[in-house]
């Protein structure tokens, strides 16, 4: 049966957070859909939705509800039919979706690395003693302190522009952001330095934009299938399975990265103590078709080799 195309009079409604970066990402999805479906951009309507995570900026995420605070209101609008699809940064999504919603569309992955943004040094390990590094990420904090325990790490929250403003105003002397976000927002300072994956593994699915839909909406499913990137989907399955089995939300510092090669898939993962003083890491290789299994096996391997007590002591 032919899919009913969106039109200016009956547009596809796209839900998103209201930050500049989130709007850019929603526009990327809109533009890709427009090209693949051969319809005008006016056949789509982008609806910014303010989330609880955007409203509560004075506390670390782990104290106020975790990653779900950045998508809860958007998902409520999706379930209620006020929007047809929702665009997210996959790294910000809880590993489980609410009943009735599914994520089965990802855009091609952009640069997964973190960016060290500072004039003090090009590498975390070379930051001067006492440098104040601002980040709200428990992963980044732990990785920074592992590489350079002589710096100070302070919580800062807010969108990309807010965090850069705090850096420019001298509230912190360095911060860490996603390379992909800086590129998409076209707001990459000249003193932003890509951090090697060997120094800091990224958050699971960092650099991947995903699209969420109602599981019963076959019309949206058919449209989204035209823009789904298989390699980004495979990588996110491996990384998020690893994340889910070791933590699930953002309580523990966890890094993961799946590299797709001609031979298959290589998954690297690590869990750190929040102060960076201890960590465990591993890697596993296998078939692309076994992405979820590889994520599970790597997580199981770390659990077996270190014991449950090793992980519970990190909290």
Helix, strand, or coil (residue 289) = helix
Residue 305 CA to residue 315 CA, distance in Å, equals 19
**The tokens of 124 are what?**
């975390």
Q: 119 and 230 in contact (C-beta within 8 Å)?
A: no
Active-site choice (84, 92, 114, 247): 92
Tell me the C-alpha to C-alpha distance, in Å, between residue 205 and each of 99, 126, 314.
22, 27, 22
- The dihedral formed by the CA atoms of 206, 210, 216 and 221, expressed in degrees to the nearest 10: -140
How many whole angstroms separate alpha carbon 307 and alpha carbon 300? 10
Read off φ and ψ for residue 222, nearest 5 degrees: -65, -40
Q: Both tokens of residue 203?
A: 């958050």
Whether residue 286 contacts residue 265, with contact meaning beta carbons closer than 8 Å, is answered with yes
Query: Cα separation of 312 and 315, whole Å?
Result: 6
Do 87 and 24 form a contact (C-beta atoms < 8 A)? no
Tell me, yes or no, if 155 is annotated catalytic: no
Count of Cβ atoms closer than 10 Å to residue 8 Cβ: 12
Look at residue 196 and give its three-state secondary structure.
Answer: coil
Tokens of residue 38, six digits: 């051969």
CB distance 40 to 52 below 8 Å: no
The string of DSSP codes covering 212-250 is EEETT-HHHHHHHHTT--HHHHHHHHHHHHHHHHHTSSS
What are the helix and strand counts (H, E) for the chain? 11, 13
Residues with a catalytic annotation lie at 92
């Amino acid at each position: 049966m032919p899919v009913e195309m969106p039109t200016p009079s009956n547009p596809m409604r796209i839900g998103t957070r209201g930050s500049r970066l989130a709007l850019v990402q929603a526009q990327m999805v809109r533009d890709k859909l427009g090209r693949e479906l051969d319809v005008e951009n006016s056949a789509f309507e982008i609806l910014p939705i303010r989330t609880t995570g955007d409203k509560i900026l004075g506390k670390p995420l782990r104290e106020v509800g975790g990653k779900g605070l950045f998508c809860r209101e958007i998902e409520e609008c999706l379930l209620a039919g006020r929007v047809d699809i929702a665009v997210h940064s996959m790294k910000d999504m809880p590993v489980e979706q609410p009943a009735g919603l599914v994520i089965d569309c990802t855009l091609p992955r952009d640069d997964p690395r973190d960016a060290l943004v500072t004039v003090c040094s090009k590498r975390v390990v070379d930051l001067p003693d006492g440098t104040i590094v601002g980040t709200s990420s428990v992963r980044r904090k732990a990785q920074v302190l592992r590489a350079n325990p002589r710096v100070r790490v302070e919580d800062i929250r807010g969108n990309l522009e807010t965090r850069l403003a705090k850096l420019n105003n001298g509230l912190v002397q360095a911060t860490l952001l996603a390379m992909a976000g800086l590129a998409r927002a076209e707001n990459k300072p000249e003193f932003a330095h890509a951090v090697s994956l060997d120094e800091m593994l990224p958050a699971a699915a960092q650099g991947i934009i995903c699209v969420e839909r109602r599981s019963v909406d076959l019309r949206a499913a058919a449209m989204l299938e035209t823009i789904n990137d298989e390699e980004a989907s495979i990588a996110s399955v491996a990384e998020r399975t690893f994340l889910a089995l070791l933590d699930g939300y953002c309580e523990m510092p966890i890094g993961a990265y799946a590299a797709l090669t001609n031979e298959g898939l290589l998954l690297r993962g690590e869990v750190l103590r929040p102060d960076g003083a201890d960590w465990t890491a591993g890697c596993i290789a296998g078939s692309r078709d076994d992405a979820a299994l590889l994520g599970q096996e790597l997580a199981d391997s770390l659990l077996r080799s270190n014991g449950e007590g090793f992980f519970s002591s990190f909290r």
